[in-house]
């Protein structure tokens, strides 16, 4: 029974870690904060909403995959905060170079 409870907690933690929710800046490491800074700079070069973007970062092998959302309704919660066309996928390598910037589906 104890083992089953531990497994359930691990699965729940994994689901939370893999969610589409943006990263909370206070919980980011220094390296993750730098990745968000690079992603924000990329958004500012291609779009005009970097100042109101929220980011989700994920490490995949030797790359950082960042999703940027355009926040249009900051007082709302959940998906109501964003516009469907305001989502970008950014890939950043270990040296901090943006290797991909694309509209997300």
Q: Is residue 10 part of a domain?
A: no
Q: How far is CA 102 from CA 5, 48, 59, in A?
A: 41, 15, 18
Could you list the residue range(s) of the whole structural domain that residue 32 is in? 20-103
Say if 8 falls within a structural domain. Answer: no
Residue 83 lies in a domain: yes
Question: Does a structural domain hold residue 13?
Answer: no
Tokens of 104: 């997300």
Q: What is the pLDDT of residues 17-50, one digit of tens each?
A: 334 656 666 688 999 999 999 999 999 999 999 9
pLDDT at position 44: 97
* CA separation, residue 12 to residues 3, 19, 50, 78, 94 (Å): 14, 11, 32, 19, 29
Residue 74 placed within a domain: yes
* Total domain count, the chain: 1
Q: What is the mean pLDDT of the chain?
A: 83
- pTM score > 0.85 for this model? no
Is 3 within a domain?
A: no
Judge whether 11 lies within some domain: no
Q: Is residue 14 part of a domain?
A: no
């Amino acid at each position: 029974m104890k083992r089953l409870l531990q497994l359930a907690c691990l699965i729940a933690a994994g689901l939370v870690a893999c969610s589409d929710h943006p990263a909370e800046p206070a919980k980011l490491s220094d390296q993750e904060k730098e990745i968000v800074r690079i992603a924000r700079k990329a958004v500012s070069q291609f779009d005009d909403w970097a100042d109101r973007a929220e980011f989700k970062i994920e490490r995949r092998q030797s790359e950082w995959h960042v999703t940027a959302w355009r926040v249009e309704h900051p007082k709302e919660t959940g998906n109501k905060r964003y516009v469907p066309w305001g989502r970008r996928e950014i890939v950043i390598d270990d040296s901090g170079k943006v290797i991909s910037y694309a509209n997300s589906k």
